[in-house]
Amino acid sequence: MSIRLQLLLVALATLVLPWAGCQYAGELEAVLRASQENALVASADTMARALSAEPERVFRDQGDPQPFSRDEGDLYAPALHGQPLLDGYQEDWGIAADLEPLPTTTGYAARLQVAATERYLFLYLEVDDPHFMAEGTDVHPEQDRFDRVDLTLQNPGGSLESYFFATAAPGLIEAQSVVRSDDGVDHATVEPRMLAYWLQTSRGYHLEARLPRTLVGRRLWIAVRGEGGAVAGFTGADLMRGGRLFMATSGLDAVLATFIRPGTRATVVDANALKLGAAGTLRSGTPGDNPRPGGSWYRRFVTADTTRWPMQVNSLDRVNGASVTQALGGHSAAEWMRTDGRDLVLVAAAPILIGTETRGAVVLEQAGDQLLELRDRALGRLFNLTLLATLVAVLFAFGIATLISLRIGRLRAAAGSAVGSDGRIRREMPESARADEIGALARAFEGLLARLDEHTQYLRTLGGKLSHELRTPLTIVRSSLDNLESEGVRADQSGFVTRAREGVARLQSILSALGAAARVEEIIKQAERVSFDLKALLSSAVAGYRDAFSGRRIELTAPPDECSLRGAPDLIAQLLDKLVENAVDFCPPGGTIDVRLIRAGSHYELSVINDGPPIPPQILERLFESLFEQRTGRDEKPHFGLGLYIVRLIAEFHGGKASAGNAQGRGAEFTIVLPLI
């Protein structure tokens, strides 16, 4: 793994800070949640104590405080914010449709909903009876079988009164009541203060009625009668129980509005959890003040698990929840709930005590967005600062890693080229002036290269030194052998003298080879450049090679005209000697050695090709190195790997280069490129 990638991974480790921030945000949210709960409970307690001091303003329109029961015919009338038009439709009531079926033993289907304003009680009935029977004339209702709606109510004075709605044709109608005249005959009289609209439909009819609250007391029973004695609702014995009317308290909404602030909804319920009044909304109404959940991408990392929180059920008549139940039991409480829209709502409830009796409760609801907004502000700042710090750290680490990689790359390139193709060693290393670890490594490389250069210089001069030091001992040995032969030797001793002379000759050739490279370098430094005909030099040299190496065929191929070259003719001749001698060593007897000269553009190409074995590819690049020898066979002539090294030196002296390869279908091919000028 590269240093750049390692430092990048180290920099990315700073991403643990956002994770820690998420944990912190979670703890912060828990603290904020508890703080919001306590604050809302405290607000609910304050409102409950204030309302307990004025019970007549809260419970003056409340019905019987006994438990509410729809099965007994009890009715709850929520408050309407405006007076609807009597037209047989409920859409303009401004509240959700919550029709309750009336009980029946005859299968007659009718559904009822009631609501109230400060002046009127409104009734809405839907009856499934497609066979409409119009009202007759001068007929007693109980002897009649026409469709009608019976009302039995307790007036404010406490007495029971009966009315009915019936019509000969759909439209706006008035309530009627049956009175007995002085002659003992029952007559139907009209009550113009009670109005209704009878709307005929394909399934039956709708009845929307309006009753003045001054005529209605604490109880109300409704019965719907159809053809053949079909009845739905409460009649007969039912009138002795149930039928209690529970209504929202007039003016309580305005009282509650003075207690609450934007973003909070307050509801007062009675002991049956029925709504007496409500004010406020969960949204402040100011754009941007209440962001929707999910508006910040941070929330997906820190949002608490709300799947176990209870679902808030919106009901027209009551407020539900464990906190409300506890408040009606006399204890303040708060709980978090979910809504259908996946919003979070905090509900707090406090009991309204009249003396020691719990008569109701104050319920405050607050959207969880307020808490989320506070949390998101803190978390947003934390995330932004953390991500900025991480980005800076990553960029800084990446920059440092890039700088280090570049420095190491320069050092690697310098180390790779420290030893040149001519065997010379360059001691200077980049970055050696730096005081850090890379600088120390560069200085260590310089020290190593200095010692290697000293050793190389010693090896380069070793041949000359040996040649100089051993020349005198060899001369003494040679003269001693001459003296010994001049005095005469026995026949059995002549073989020893001969072998001694051969050894001396071999040592002399070894010393000559060891000093050849040094001498060539000195000769090259002192050589003078002249213009000469390269083709003529090659022709003369090849003629001599043919006489010297008669066992091989040596062929010359050259351009027909003169080939002028400026250089050292003696060095070119020595270069050709080394190449031809090398070719002869590897060319089998009777083989052919081709010497070719080609003029190619601005340079000459001098090639020597033999019929010997090909050169192994793995050593082609090293053939021209000093003291490199790769011969598998053995002969009497010593080889020290200096011949091709001298060839390279001479080629470079003339501004050219030497290369080796394998000829197609033949043996080795050595090519020297020499510039024309």
**Percent of the chain residues past pLDDT 90, beyond the cut:** 26
- CA geometry: angle 450, 456, 461, nearest 5 deg: 130
Q: In degrees rounded to 5, what are phi and psi of residue 470? A: -90, -10
CB 11 within 8 A of CB 398: yes
Can you give the pLDDT at residue 382?
Answer: 73
Can you give the pLDDT at residue 41?
Answer: 93
Give me the sheet containing 220-225, strands edge to edge. Answer: 100-101, 109-116, 120-128, 204-212, 186-200, 171-180, 160-165, 148-154, 220-225, 231-233
Place of tokens 């909903």: 113
- Report the alpha-carbon distance of residue 202 to residue 219 in Å, rounded: 32
- Report the alpha-carbon distance of residue 644 to residue 234 in Å, rounded: 127
Can you give the pLDDT at residue 293?
Answer: 45
Can you give the pLDDT at residue 489?
Answer: 73
CB 175 within 8 A of CB 161: no
Q: Which residues 6+ apart lie within 8 Å of 466 measured at CB?
A: 511, 514, 515
Q: Per-residue pLDDT tens for 200-228?
A: 998 999 999 999 999 998 889 999 988 77
Sign of CA dihedral 516, 520, 521, 526: positive
Q: Which domains does the chain have, with CATH numbers?
A: 14-61+250-377 (3.30.450.20), 75-247 (2.60.40.1190), 437-520 (1.10.287), 528-675 (3.30.565.10)
CA distances (Å), origin 365, targets 96, 235, 287, 316: 20, 41, 20, 16
- Report the alpha-carbon distance of residue 110 to residue 508 in Å, rounded: 137
- Report the alpha-carbon distance of residue 631 to residue 639 in Å, rounded: 9
CB 347 within 8 A of CB 363: yes
Can you give the pLDDT at residue 576?
Answer: 92
Q: In degrees rounded to 5, what are phi and psi of residue 499? A: -65, -35
DSSP 228: G
Strands (E), 25-108: 75-77, 100-101
| Among candidate residues 558, 628, 625, 555, the one with its CA nearest the CA of residue 587 | 555
Q: In degrees rounded to 5, what are phi and psi of residue 27? A: -65, -40
- Give me 62's structure tokens: 């409340």
CB 387 within 8 A of CB 14: no
Can you give the pLDDT at residue 491?
Answer: 74
Q: Per-residue pLDDT tens for 266-305?
A: 999 988 888 888 898 887 554 444 444 444 555 555 556 6
- Give me 427's structure tokens: 């001691």
Can you give the pLDDT at residue 294?
Answer: 46
CB 582 within 8 A of CB 648: no
Can you give the pLDDT at residue 112?
Answer: 93
Average pLDDT, 10 consecutive residues per value, the chain (677 residues): 70 72 73 86 92 84 69 86 91 88 88 91 92 67 72 88 90 89 78 94 93 91 85 79 83 86 88 88 58 50 67 81 91 88 84 89 84 67 78 80 84 83 76 84 88 80 71 82 78 78 76 66 80 92 89 91 90 90 88 92 92 84 71 54 82 90 86 88
- Give me 347's structure tokens: 């509900």
Can you give the pLDDT at residue 67?
Answer: 80
